A and B are shown apart, each in its own frame.
Chain A
């Protein structure tokens, strides 16, 4: 057996105490255990917020909830890559591990960022099925297994923001709506009932920079849920072309 008793994990956290203050790094070292992930490191830092040099500091604020990569909360930058802290396993990472907040969203404190913009953009694209009411009027439209699989893939988006973080065209203060909301618009546009609002959604996408996408495909590469963002964007572009053509010829 190797000497696991004295084995440690070294990691650095990028700290920023308020939205306006300067960022700085702090280094920590905790005992190694099997199956550690980044969240357990952060928990250990909360339990003993002392830096490697013995300086007493504060626990680093971070978001985390489900801890099984289905809620999207704990998205951050680990060793330079955007990902969820819960599935970032320590034994697979080079040390010292660097942990930083996402760069494209405003920092609230330390590793916690404000991703409200993503939920707002779901309003712009009317990201819902416009049902009449909740009355018991029977079942929905039949859907083929193939259509269901297409929809389910898009619907697994957990609004984590990895795609936006990695997109060369997207920034929180500019006008490109980004792959996350485009894919959701496509999801609702391809539903038999959701289709009723297709032209509104496509209009919203066009007005929010659909054509800005430079087809870098970083979004699909980083998506932890393998949402087919490339196919979704190309579908959105096709829907936009149809929409613009129809509008030109005055067809509804």
Chain B
């Protein structure tokens, strides 16, 4: 019998965690080979951009895994199956311990224990952190362990390769993948007994976001074309605090507020806001900072969940017109921390982001309040997966990390993404893929070569078609148009008329795409054809997001429609599922019931302390 092979696509936290676990489980028998495919060297994956920390309850402040579970479900506006979230929160302390043993340099208390800080949507300091580059440090920890297995021959890395599609046998069971070497441009089949997609988020749909260049959505959308279901696409997190740039939007971590950072604009008592009891109240005092989050949400203050902070900043800027000097920015201020506790103290906690701010803006945030605005950051939605195994609806194909849909409902809490990435890779998708691969009747290695070659041919022909396109359109410009369209209409505030127009315009862009010319016809490290290839898929990914948003006539978490300002559990407490219609090229939308058996849904209100929901467990 030949070796079992597992293909992992993507080498961020989820992919590396799965690789480590599978390699560990087969290290004694040496009968399984993990093959990792990544566009970039795995150590340069987007997980490095995660800043603030990773959540796990610890019993020093009366916190508990159940409280973490409740905060997560409540923060996500109840739009998630509760079983997987509960299991994730229960395992979280073990995950922190494991990283601790792996040498991740978490900040420490005086006694030498892992320090914690507060994050949004909870009242407990639950977040373990390594300065303000926690994602980078966790990724390095996993990268090191996987390198160890690589040196033992249990893992092979294909860095600089892009996944193109999955190969299925005559029983519709996965038997391998097709990937392209981005230097030689070779397209090749790799037999695999199970495939794990761990390819991160879809930031490229919005042109500019906090995502990295590698978050291009290609793998996920290609799998959607092959029949994978995509769930809750309309739930896109817009992070409240970022800084601009022509190439990307750069995150200023929520941990700045976790460490005491305050959001404010200059007050203007002539402007009014309406509180929960319907009373009209002034927008602060003349000539004084108005800490609007602290005033409106006394219980959580600056640490309300991201969807709420983002909408409040949006209101302050566009409704009250109180943006800094009339521009669409508000202050994020940590300078008082430097004054009160010292620059060294602040740097131990936040240096990673403060130096980004200083390098890009040329202003020292230790002394001057930062100027920030919201930016597209994360997708709560993603590939539909089975509750228990992380397997997509395609036999033998699993998903883990940001590219799945299961853990964050309608709004993700800060510092829960690193957790869900590691949890899904390490504890679910990794071991389940191995179990699946070992138990299948027909080994991928025995797949007739004509099956493998047919998919290689299909992909090669598509690439040839792209490179031979001819016409006046420019893929880069089409991408800008798509990004601007999506950012204007499918982010913080959505309305149906604009969403309908957006769908029509995407259709138009899709048509124009085939009138493009690719400026490089060569076959060596050709980044132009690759760019067009990614763009081709982005249109369909955008359509999943917009159609889901158009249908959902309610407001929930990150999805806010002024026409339907309330959450409507009776009609809309259900998962959106998009399936690709090959004949029309459009998503077919259906819905799936949500498992809410552990915590009954209750209204979200962050002006008051959340009271933990009754648990039937």
Contacts and interface: CB of A to CB of B under 8 A. Distances in A.
Interface in B522-571: 522, 524-528, 531
B516 to A, nearest CB: 12
B328 interface: no
B101 A193 contact: yes
A95 to B, nearest CB: 18
Interface in A26-55: 33, 35-37, 39-40, 43, 46-49
Interface string B117-148: 00000000000001101001100100011011
Contacts of B360: 35, 37, 68, 87, 89
Interface residues of B, number: 71
B306 interface: no
Interface in B508-522: 519-520, 522
Contacts, number: 198
Interface in B200-238: 212-214
Interface in A156-210: 156, 158-159, 188, 191, 193-194
Contacts of A56: 519
Given A58-B519, A67-B245, A188-B103, A87 B41 contact: no
B401 to A, nearest CB: 16
B337 interface: no
A134 B426 contact: yes
Given A39-B247, A71-B48, A87-B359, A58 B525 contact: no
B212 A66 contact: yes
A188 B144 CA distance: 11
Interface in B130-185: 130-131, 133, 136-137, 140, 144-145, 147-148, 150-151, 159, 183
A142 B113 contact: yes
Contacts of B150: 123
Interface stretch (A5-13, A124-132, A237-245): A124-132
A56 B517 CA distance: 13
A138 B97 contact: yes
B20 interface: yes
Interface stretch (B104-112, B267-275, B447-455): B104-112
A65 interface: yes
Contacts of A122: 144, 147
Residue picked from A56, A68, A126, most chain B C-beta under 10 Å: A68
Given A129-B144, A140-B100, A67 B247 contact: yes
B477 A47 contact: yes
Given A65-B44, A129-B101, A188-B103, A134 B24 contact: yes
Contacts of A39: 247
B49 interface: yes
B247 A156 contact: no
A156 B133 contact: yes
A212 B595 CA distance: 63
Nearest to B136: A70
A59 B212 contact: no
Given A71-B48, A112-B525, A156-B136, A129 B41 contact: no
Interface stretch (A144-152, A214-222, A227-235): A144-152
B522 A65 contact: no
A33 B244 CA distance: 13
A183 to B, nearest CB: 13
Interface string A87-125: 101000000000000000000111010011001001100
A136 interface: yes
Interface in B16-55: 20-21, 24, 40-41, 43-46, 48-49
A7 B107 CA distance: 47
A58 B108 contact: no
B144 A65 contact: no
A122 B526 CA distance: 30
A17 B245 contact: no
Given A144-B108, A152-B131, A158-B136, A65 B40 contact: yes
B48 A158 contact: yes
B442 interface: no
B612 interface: no
A116 B147 CA distance: 13
Contacts of A155: 105, 130, 137, 140
Interface string A55-96: 010110111111111111100000000000011010000000
Contacts of A46: 476, 519, 527-528, 531
Contact of B103 (A65, A136, A194): A194
B46 A36 contact: no
B458 interface: no
A69 B103 CA distance: 23
A71 B212 contact: yes
A73 B519 contact: no
A139 interface: yes
B144 A64 contact: no
Contacts of A71: 40, 44-45, 48-49, 212
Contact of B112 (A17, A64, A86, A142): A142
Contacts of A58: 519-520, 522, 528
A68 to B, nearest CB: 5
B250 interface: yes
Residue picked from A65, A112, A148, A188, most chain B C-beta under 10 Å: A65
B48 A70 contact: yes
Residue picked from A108, A133, A139, A194, most chain B C-beta under 10 Å: A139
A140 B525 contact: no
Contact of A73 (B44, B112, B248): B44
B120 to A, nearest CB: 21
A66 B203 CA distance: 12
B128 to A, nearest CB: 11
Contacts of A130: 148
B64 interface: no
A143 interface: yes
Contacts of A59: 519-520, 527-528
B570 to A, nearest CB: 41
Nearest to A88: B359
A13 B112 CA distance: 50
Contact of A40 (B20, B46, B133, B247): B247
A211 interface: no
Given A40-B246, A193-B103, A108 B525 contact: yes
B474 A47 contact: yes
A134 B250 contact: no
A236 to B, nearest CB: 18
B147 A128 contact: yes
Given A37-B247, A59-B520, A129-B102, A66 B48 contact: yes
B348 interface: yes
Interface string B474-489: 1011000000000000
A136 to B, nearest CB: 4
Interface of A: 17-18, 33, 35-37, 39-40, 43, 46-49, 56, 58-59, 61-73, 86-87, 89, 108-110, 112, 115-116, 119, 122-123, 126-131, 133-134, 136-140, 142-145, 147-149, 151-152, 155-156, 158-159, 188, 191, 193-194
15 contacts: A35-B246, A46-B531, A64-B213, A66-B49, A66-B213, A89-B359, A109-B183, A131-B102, A134-B21, A136-B98, A138-B97, A139-B97, A142-B112, A144-B108, A152-B131
Given A134-B426, A148-B106, 7 more contacts: A63-B40, A65-B213, A68-B248, A70-B133, A89-B359, A115-B41, A142-B112
Interface of B: 20-21, 24, 40-41, 43-46, 48-49, 94, 97-98, 100-103, 105-114, 130-131, 133, 136-137, 140, 144-145, 147-148, 150-151, 159, 183, 212-214, 244-248, 250-251, 348, 352, 356, 359-360, 362, 426, 474, 476-477, 519-520, 522, 524-528, 531
**Closest 9 CB pairs between A and B?**
A142-B112, A140-B100, A128-B144, A109-B525, A129-B103, A47-B476, A140-B101, A136-B94, A152-B105
